[in-house]
Amino acid sequence: MLNFYMAPGSCTTGIHILLEECELIFSANIVNLPKGDQHTEQYRAINPRGTIPTLVLDDGTSLTSFESIAWWLAQTNPAKKLLPENLNEQLKVMEIMNLCVHTLHGSGFTRIFTPEKYFLNDQINTDEQKIILKNQAEKIISEGFAYLAKTIKGPFVTEQFSIADAALFYVEFWADRTNIEMPQQCISHYENMKQRPVVKQVLLEEGYRI
C-alpha cells in the first residue's frame, strides 16, 4: 500500500486530488506542521528534507516533492491521462506546474505563511517586516496569476485535466482563503475544479466545505 504524508489545506491537497483521481488505495498520514512533526526523527527517516508531501511507494522508495509524485502518478496510471499525449502540451503542463510550485508557492505564499524564513538571525520579527514581505508576496502572486491567465485558454491548463491543474488548484485555493485577487481566467479554472467530484470529496475529507 502507498503511504501518503500530508497536511490538510496545504500543497499536499493537490497530490491528494491526484491520488483519488487515480483511484489508488493509500494510507493518509497527517503531518502536524505547527507541532513540528516534520522535524521528528521518525519523519526524517522517511523524508530527510522534512518537507511535505511525501509518498512512500510499495518498494519503500520515498518521493519527496510535488513534481516527482505528480509525475510518478501520471506515468504509472496512463489510463487516467494526467499528461497530454502531445509533447508541446506536456511541456506546457510541466512549465505551469513548476510555476505554481516554485514561484506562486515557493516564492510567493511562503512569504505570507512562513515569513520567519526570510529573516536573518539578527533581525527582529516585526509587523512592519511582515507587511513588507506580504507586499512582496502579493506582487509575486499577482504576476504569476497574470501570466497564467494569458496561458490558460479553457477550463483546464490544456484540453483535459492534468497534473498541472492539481498544482494550480491548491494555489488558487490559498488565494481564495487569503482574499488575494485572481484574474477571471484563474477564477473560472478554480470554480471548474471545485465542481469535480474528486475535488469535492478531497476538500470534505480535509475538513473544508465549499
In the numeric block, which cell numbers belong to residue 94? 510541466
Residues 51 and 134 in one domain: no
The answer to whether residue 145 is domain-embedded is yes
Structure confidence by residue, pLDDT tens digits, 141-164? 999 999 999 999 889 999 999 999
Q: Of 32, 50, 80, which residue constitutes the final position of a domain?
A: 80
pLDDT for 124 equals 60
Mean pLDDT of 26-37: 96
Look at residues 62, 46, 52, 57 and name the one whose alpha carbon lies nearest to residue 10: 52
Residue matched to cell numbers 504569476: 144
- Domain encompassing residue 114: 87-196
- Which residue, 86, 69, 85, is CA-closest to 166? 69
- Going by pLDDT thresholds of 50, 70 and 90, the confidence category of residue 122 is low
C-alpha cell belonging to residue 105:
508557492
Q: Determine the 3-state secondary structure of 179 from DSSP.
A: coil
144: domain CATH number is 1.20.1050.10
β-pairing verdict for 26-30 and 2-6: parallel
Answer whether residue 190 shows pLDDT above 70: yes
Decide if 31 contacts 55 (C-beta within 8 A).
no
- Structural domain ending residue among the three candidates 25, 55, 80: 80
What one-letter code names the amino acid at 137?
A: A
Instruction: With beta carbons less than 8 A apart as the criterion, state whether 9 and 206 touch.
Output: yes
In terms of Cα–Cα distance, which of 56, 87, 42, 33 is closest to 64?
56
Single residue among 25, 52, 80 that ends a domain in this structure: 80
Nearby residues of 171 by Cβ (< 8 Å), 6 or more positions away: 100, 104, 105, 109, 141
Say how far apart CA 108 and CA 59 lie, in whole Å: 35
Structure confidence at residue 34 (pLDDT): 93
Please, are residues 44 and 141 in contact by the beta-carbon 8 Å criterion? no
- Higher-pLDDT residue of 130 and 186 is 186
3-state secondary structure of 72: helix
- In this predicted structure, the answer to whether residue 130 has a pLDDT above a threshold of 60 is yes
For residue 3, list its beta bridge partners: 27, 56
Instruction: Write the DSSP symbol of residue 125.
Output: -
Q: Are residues 75 and 98 in the same domain?
A: no
Q: What's the pLDDT tens digit per position in 37-73?
A: 999 999 999 999 999 999 999 999 999 999 999 999 9
Q: How many domains does the chain have?
A: 2
Across 67-80, average pLDDT: 98
Residue 37's closest CA among 69, 58, 12, 66?
12
